[in-house]
Amino acid sequence: MIASVGKYHKFSIVLVLLSAFVYYYFGYPLVRTDLVILISLYGIAFASFFGLIKLEKHNFLFLAGIAIVFRLIFLGSIPNLSQDFYRFIWDGRLLLQGWNPYLYLPNDLMASGSVPIQESQALFDGMGSLNASHYTNYTPINQLCFVLAAIVSPKSITGAVIVLRLILILADIGTLYFGRKLLKNLGLPVNNIWLFILNPLVIIELVGNLHFEGLMIFFLVWSLYLLQKGLWKWAAVILALSVSVKLLPFIFLPILFQWFTKRKITEIHKTSFSILRKNLGKLIVFYAIVFAIVIGLFLPFISEKFISNYQETIGLYFQNFEFNASLYYIARWIGYQIVGWNTIATIGKITPIVVFVSVLIISFFRDNTDFKKTVTALLFGLSIYFFTTTTMHPWYFTTLLVLSVFTNYRFTVVWSFMFVLSYTAYQKEGYGEILELVALEYIAVYGFLLYEIISLQRKKLQIQAS
């Protein structure tokens, strides 16, 4: 037994060194069009990820330590798989000079020669023509982080990157802390948290490529922990902060209905009126706190032009952009067969309605009366949105991955690996998705999800029969 433990320990060190090399390569020498190297290294990172969890899953300090070290490897690197951070720095420096970043297009400012920030040309060139031609859609807490980077490093892109990266590393540490506590409270294995914290997709996309889903997820997990503890007013405050990083958690609000009322909509008549009124009152106050804080954080920026620009940007996301989509690509193909052109403008208007109706059905008619069932409902509500969206970047998915940690579903882990195929769109000959690989990605995801649903249903029937 002692020899076995020693052997595992030595092999764990090998896996740590392999992972560290992969993250170093992703952070520094890698060129995203070197697809063979990228996919190979990603595969090594995932094999090491599974090996480390298997061998050291009960060694909390060891895994927590290496999770932080893996992230610190990226500290001084400039993201090479995403250009978004240039716009982050641009917005932050613009805001620091007293300019509302929601009101100005980078293209217009550069053309007028009136950009009031340092390194404007480098930032403009870095963000790319697509980003520079659209108004910013980054929310107030995002903008606060960007301003902090501008204050600390107003003249150095690398310095600003380090500040932003430290924020995201701290956010992941917070997710580890509250995620572990929530797992304990739910009676689930605390080792589940490593499926998120050590996942290569999370490390590369959130810390490596500076996507602020990491901060949103920290606030979301903290809010869920507080809600499960019964501290629902504080949970509303923290959820509002999550929404103020990314708007995505708005989708969860209806799903919390049963957690507050403890009844499905079809069972409301079985609850006494006084109890129902009290519980609905709590839910309304919860919603009011969330909306009040979000609106309050937007208030310093609000103007008629801001509203117009923000609506335009959100509309473009649903009706113009398309990447690594699932059911949308099938609908688009059907559209081509019927009318002969890309029907994204029409589909982009329909899919939000489909998602909204689906979320309402999950919210009111599925049994979400205990907290585990509520989190599972959050998982499937968000899954429907991601399965129908026109644009599915890898970092969007990380919210779904963290929710799955608190459920019995693991199709998200499969998806986190299959996402590497989406990078094949960035080829040396130019941008172009390989739809066969997109199909392979989603066949694996849907196939494993179907397998899990069938398996969990069988277990449920066996338990009922016994």
Mean of pLDDT values over 316-333: 87
347 vs 242, residue with greater confidence: 242
CB 78 within 8 A of CB 157: yes
Distance CA 395, CA 302 (A): 28
Tens-place pLDDT, residues 330-342: 999 999 999 988 8
CB 72 within 8 A of CB 169: yes
What's residue 345's pLDDT? 83
CB 329 within 8 A of CB 441: no
Mean of pLDDT values over 350-359: 94
Least confident of 82-86, 123-127, 343-347, 403-407: 343-347
- Which among 347, 409, 370, 362 is positioned nearest to 195, based on CA atoms? 409
Distance CA 127, CA 115 (A): 15
CB 333 within 8 A of CB 325: no
What's residue 269's pLDDT? 64
Mean pLDDT taken over the chain: 93
Distance CA 402, CA 252 (A): 14
- Which among 167, 185, 180 is positioned nearest to 231, based on CA atoms? 185
Please report which confidence band the pLDDT of residue 362 belongs to, taking 50, 70 and 90 as the band edges: very high
**Side chain identity, residue 348:** G
Tell me the percentage of the chain whose pLDDT exceeds 90.
82
Tens-place pLDDT, residues 398-414: 999 999 999 999 999 99
Biggest CA pair distance of the chain? 75
- Phi first, then psi, for residue 136 (nearest 5°) are -65, 145
What's residue 262's pLDDT? 78
Tens-place pLDDT, residues 114-162: 899 999 999 999 999 989 999 999 999 999 999 999 999 999 999 999 9
What does each C-alpha distance from 324 to 410, 421, 446 come to in angstroms?
20, 9, 15
CB 195 within 8 A of CB 413: yes
